[in-house]
Every structure is written in C-alpha cells, then in structure tokens.
Amino acid sequence: MEIDVGKDFYHRLANRDSHQGDGKFTAIDFRNRFLKSLDNENAWLTDTEPIVLDFANVKKIGPSFANEAFAYFTKYASPEKLSKKIVFKNATRVQRMIIQEELETGHKRV
C-alpha cells in the first residue's frame, strides 16, 4: 500500500492532536486513517507488505507529529522493525532525521 501523504492527507504535518496548533490534520487523525491496521500486536508478528508513505509533497513534518503518528508504534516494535513496516519514501534528509529521532526516543504520551 502506498500513500501520497501530501495529497491524500496534508502537506504540513505539524499537529500532534486537536490541542496543538489549529488542531487540524493531526497525527492521531493520520494514524487512525492510514496506520490503523498496525495498531495491534498481531500486525507486528507477521511479515506483511510494508505501508509506503510518500513524502514527496510534504513540506513540513514536526517532531510531535512524528512522535504521535509513528513513535506511537514503538510500544509494539523496535525502531528498526518499525522502519521495515512503514517505509518513508522521498523524505528529505532532515525529515528522516526528525522521524528517526522520534522513533529512537519513543512515544512521549500515553
């Protein structure tokens, strides 16, 4: 499955939840919409096709968005395993670093 994040969701990935910024296009919305299938332990036990997130049209990704959308899954798997299940295509070097940093530090809210 491949998702053009910029077109299918939004080009500015900044808000963690409805309390942050303008409260729109939040990481929780994104997770529920595109990564719902990964939100259970069984999904991480089997080898399935990775979800490819195309960042070509994404202008910005904030640390809190990355944390809530992706680092949330570190409760199921290590960052390395997570990177195999969720592939970040066409992300810039800094965008990758922001995501990687959040994956390494883990989910910060329960």
Partner 1 sequence: MFNKIPKSVAIPSLIVFLITAYLLFNPFIFRDINTIIYPRHINDLQTARNYYQILSSVLTILFSIVGLILGYFYYINKIETDANNAKRERIRKRLDSLIAELNEYDDLVNTISCLNVKDKGELKFIRNKINRSSEQISSQLEQGDTLFGLSKDEIKTIIRIHSFVEQNPFLMEVDYDELIKSDQSLIWIIKNDYTERMQEARRICYCKLE
By CB under 8 A, name the binding residues for partner 1.
14, 16, 19-21, 60, 62-64, 67, 92-94, 97-98, 101-102, 105, 108
C-beta closer to partner 1: residue 44 or 54: 54
Task: Report, in Å, the least distance between residue 55 CB and partner 1.
Answer: 12
- 3-class DSSP assignment, residue 88: strand
H-run or E-run covering 8? helix 5-8
Task: Report, in Å, the least distance between residue 99 CB and partner 1.
Answer: 10
Task: Report, in Å, the least distance between residue 104 CB and partner 1.
Answer: 9
C-beta closer to partner 1: residue 19 or 49: 19
Instruction: Find the distance separating the first CA and the last CA of the chain, reported in whole Å.
Output: 28
C-beta closer to partner 1: residue 36 or 75: 75
- 79 and 87 in contact (C-beta within 8 Å)? no
| DSSP-derived secondary structure letter, 35 | S
C-beta closer to partner 1: residue 78 or 92: 92
Which residues 6+ apart lie within 8 Å of 76 measured at CB? Answer: 38, 40, 41, 43, 44, 82
Task: Report, in Å, the least distance between residue 102 CB and partner 1.
Answer: 7
